[in-house]
Structure 1
Amino acid sequence: MKRCRLELVWFLGAGLVASCPALAAPPAPRAPASHGTLVKLATLVPDGTVWYKTLVDLGDEWSSETQGRVTLRIYPGGVAGEEQDMVRKMRIGQIQASALTVLGLASVDESFDVFATPMMFGSYDELLYVLDKMTPVLKQRLEAKGFVLLNWGHAGWLQVFTKQPVQSVSDLKKLKIFVGAGDDRMVQMWKDNGFQPVALAVTDLLTSLQTGMIDALPSTPLIALQLQWFRMTPYMVDTGLAPLVGGLVITRQAWNKIPEADRAKLLEACKRAEAKLQAEIPLQDKNAVAEMEKRGLKVTHIQGQAAVEWRAMAERFAGRMRGTMVPAEIVDQALRERDAYRRRGSASSP
């Protein structure tokens, strides 16, 4: 199957995070006990963020729960390279684990791009339901390629930030929207749907906003606040574009070297870390919107016919992704599980 990544997630997962000044931070060492197992973990997550703190706490739990038999050394902020580099380094044994976004996970198996499908999920509860149902098959697909999924990560929900008010899809088509450089097929998909994509290196993003080369970009509220991007894009379209999902993975070879009794303890710690992010990130995104509104952000809530237009746009993108970017059987399973959840009753949007 030909590989083509959703650039919205590339931007936040591998680009936006990597543009943060905290990337220069040195690795956080965790010294292994004598004859213990040292797990080297790389991530794009910058030092000082809620995601980094969660990893540090996880490392402390691993060491405590195993009485020092398993320790974690964290390489944050992209010091080990982009996520594709991390996957390569895991395969050759330079590192043993990574906290990856959908981009990195999908570089191992395309199935994970299903969670980047625009507007497929209408709420966190809906997303978590589908994640739970699909975890077994996704774990199997990773394990077949030499990796073990330890837990899911959550980084927020992508919204569209713009320099001027946007109500409809037609309004957005008038703006120049950021698309990550390097994927001509994705750029063409945007063009085919009537948009004006501008393919840029992430290092050129801030300058491009300042000079008017781009007028719109996708971001989670929390990241838009932390990097102060909302000051240059003071309008947010509350579309619930896509969740930013990730996962903590370790090589099967490294995992199998850990005693089975310790593995169970590590998994329990991972479950607690996952639950913490599930609880904290939605609240932090919500609080970030409120804080940005205090500083001048204007939020547009899409309703009525405009909402129908946004949904139709998302469905066109999703249709192009099925079978090309994401295996058809994975898309179909996700839709079945999502629709089953909706038949049980709906939850509020992110």
Structure 2
Amino acid sequence: MNRTDTSRHRPARLTVAAAWLLALLSLTTALHAQTLKMATLAPQGSIWDQAIRAMGERWAKETAGRVQLRIYAGGVAGDESDAMRKTRAGQFQGLAITVAGLTEIDSAFNVFQIPMYFESFEELYFVLAELRPALEARLAAKGYVLLHWGHGGWIHLFSRQPIRTLADLKQQKLFVWAGDDSAVQAWKKNGYQPVPLAATDILLGFQTKMIDVVPTTPIAALSLQWYRQTPYMLGMGLAPLVGGVVLTKGAWDKISPADQALVLAAAKATEKGLEAEVPRQDKSAIDQMSQRGLSVVEIGAEEQKSWRGEAQRFAVAARDGRVPAEILAAAEAAIAKFRSRPAAAPGGGAGN
């Protein structure tokens, strides 16, 4: 009789034990899970916002919820300087920032702000790959881990009045990123009128006539509607807009090595996707804005030569300490290596 009773209750006991085991496993997973908060200026719904969100969804799926991502897009965390300050204070664990933000971490990233330094997206991607170990090391020394490069398109001048010559530009008030005093001084030294503002204040800057010109990409000009204030775009591209997605080392170290590998694989896929899609969207944005009244100002060979000469002067000035010597040398070596290849074709994708 007792044996029968024991046999009858065994399934119930097993069910209770299994439930406790599942609860324990769930608790263990929860203890090791973390939700990473990431700030970005990328407009909600933009190509960059969508790419980061898709990456976060892949993290959650492939790590079984142990690594999750919460995005604060559209500058809700403030300008990049604000977001970085909040990250240092622990409010955020990640940043998806432009090169302007990266230069606040390390001046090496100023190499990507030299006008007309790169001739094509392909050349840029090659140089980024060559410099990545050195730049990752510099970020690590400052407490950050690079997940992937961000690509924003090719920067053009968007202005209230047509700009064809350097003299035209010098007569107009030019937006520059607030917090980058070296850039402000470089522009002033060459006779320009830089006006440092937070990126979140650009629209207000146009409305109050504080600025007349913004260097930005077609995708950004369309997404943020800046082109409505600037009906002219210089057809010649000036520089690629480079960015990066970084995590604080403290947050990174809380992720298991196995999950770190999954996070990096998803980040790499995101980077490759942006490399392929951003140039296409850049062109599409120009087409859309042109249909809505944007005038693309094309310039001749002599005028282009003048602009390139000015860019060369900025590159020379970078050797005076704005870019660390070893990074500038490595970039120049990588560019020379790329251009010496038989397949290298100057000008592709640069908006020239």
Interval containing the TM-score (normalised by the shorter chain): 0.7 to 0.9
Alignment of 1:157-196 (within 5 A): 157-180=154-177, 186-196=183-193
CA distances 1:78-132 after superposition (whole Å, capped 9, x unpaired): 3333323333343343322111211222211111121111111111000000001
Matched, 1:137 2:134: yes
Matched, 1:220 2:217: yes
What amino acid sits opposite 1:115 in the alignment?
A: F
Matched, 1:88 2:89: no
Which residue of the partner structure matches residue 61 of structure 1?
58
Judged with a 3 Å threshold, the aligned counterparts in structure 2 of structure 1 residues 349 and 197 are, in CA distance, closer, same or farther, namely same
Judged with a 3 Å threshold, the aligned counterparts in structure 2 of structure 1 residues 141 and 311 are, in CA distance, closer, same or farther, namely same
Judged with a 3 Å threshold, the aligned counterparts in structure 2 of structure 1 residues 264 and 338 are, in CA distance, closer, same or farther, namely same
Which residue of the partner structure matches residue 297 of structure 1?
294
CA distances 1:123-158 after superposition (whole Å, capped 9, x unpaired): 100000000110011111111222111111111111
SS at match of 2:51: helix
Judged with a 3 Å threshold, the aligned counterparts in structure 2 of structure 1 residues 165 and 259 are, in CA distance, closer, same or farther, namely same
Moved more, 77-86 or 249-258: 77-86
Which residue of the partner structure matches residue 325 of structure 1?
322
Judged with a 3 Å threshold, the aligned counterparts in structure 2 of structure 1 residues 152 and 338 are, in CA distance, closer, same or farther, namely same
Alignment gaps of 5+ in structure 1: 1-31
TM-fit CA distance, 1:213: 4.8
What amino acid sits opposite 1:325 in the alignment?
A: R
Which residue of the partner structure matches residue 349 of structure 1?
349
The alignment of Structure 1 onto Structure 2 pairs a total of residues equal to: 319
Match among 34, 47, 65 for residue 30 of structure 2 = 34
TM-fit CA distance, 1:205: 4.1
Structure 2 Cα separation of the partners of residues 306 and 136 of structure 1: 38
User: What's the C-alpha RMSD, in Å, of the aligned pairs?
Assistant: 2.3
Structure 2 Cα separation of the partners of residues 229 and 78 of structure 1: 15
Which residue of the partner structure matches residue 338 of structure 1?
335
| TM-score, normalised relative to structure 2 | 0.83
Structure 1 Cα separation of the partners of residues 176 and 143 of structure 2: 31
The structure with the largest alpha-carbon Rg is 2
Structure 2 Cα separation of the partners of residues 254 and 199 of structure 1: 32
Q: Is the 8 A contact 1:122 1:240 kept in 2?
A: no
SS at match of 1:239: coil
Q: Is the 8 A contact 1:62 1:269 kept in 2?
A: yes
Moved more, 186-195 or 216-225: 186-195
CA distances 1:152-172 after superposition (whole Å, capped 9, x unpaired): 111111101122332222232
Judged with a 3 Å threshold, the aligned counterparts in structure 2 of structure 1 residues 72 and 292 are, in CA distance, closer, same or farther, namely same
Judged with a 3 Å threshold, the aligned counterparts in structure 2 of structure 1 residues 178 and 41 are, in CA distance, closer, same or farther, namely closer
Structure 2 Cα separation of the partners of residues 260 and 254 of structure 1: 13
Structure 2 Cα separation of the partners of residues 114 and 33 of structure 1: 43
Q: Is the 8 A contact 1:163 1:232 kept in 2?
A: yes
Structure 2 Cα separation of the partners of residues 67 and 60 of structure 1: 11
Q: Is the 8 A contact 2:36 2:92 kept in 1?
A: yes
SS at match of 2:115: coil
Matched, 1:77 2:46: no
What amino acid sits opposite 2:30 in the alignment?
A: S
Structure 2 Cα separation of the partners of residues 119 and 186 of structure 1: 15
| TM-score, normalised relative to structure 1 | 0.83
Judged with a 3 Å threshold, the aligned counterparts in structure 2 of structure 1 residues 217 and 78 are, in CA distance, closer, same or farther, namely closer
Structure 1 Cα separation of the partners of residues 65 and 141 of structure 2: 30
Judged with a 3 Å threshold, the aligned counterparts in structure 2 of structure 1 residues 107 and 210 are, in CA distance, closer, same or farther, namely closer
What amino acid sits opposite 2:142 in the alignment?
A: K
What amino acid sits opposite 1:349 in the alignment?
A: G
Alignment of 1:192-211 (within 5 A): 192-200=189-197, 205-206=202-203, 208-210=205-207
TM-fit CA distance, 1:334: 0.6
Matched, 1:43 2:40: yes
Structure 2 Cα separation of the partners of residues 135 and 227 of structure 1: 30
SS at match of 2:235: strand
Which residue of the partner structure matches residue 259 of structure 1?
256
Alignment gaps of 5+ in structure 2: 1-27
Moved more, 129-138 or 197-206: 197-206
What is the percentage of aligned positions where both structures have the same residue?
50
Alignment of 1:226-237 (within 5 A): 226-237=223-234
Structure 1 Cα separation of the partners of residues 326 and 206 of structure 2: 39
Structure 2 Cα separation of the partners of residues 201 and 104 of structure 1: 11
SS at match of 1:40: strand
Matched, 1:98 2:95: yes
Judged with a 3 Å threshold, the aligned counterparts in structure 2 of structure 1 residues 37 and 207 are, in CA distance, closer, same or farther, namely closer
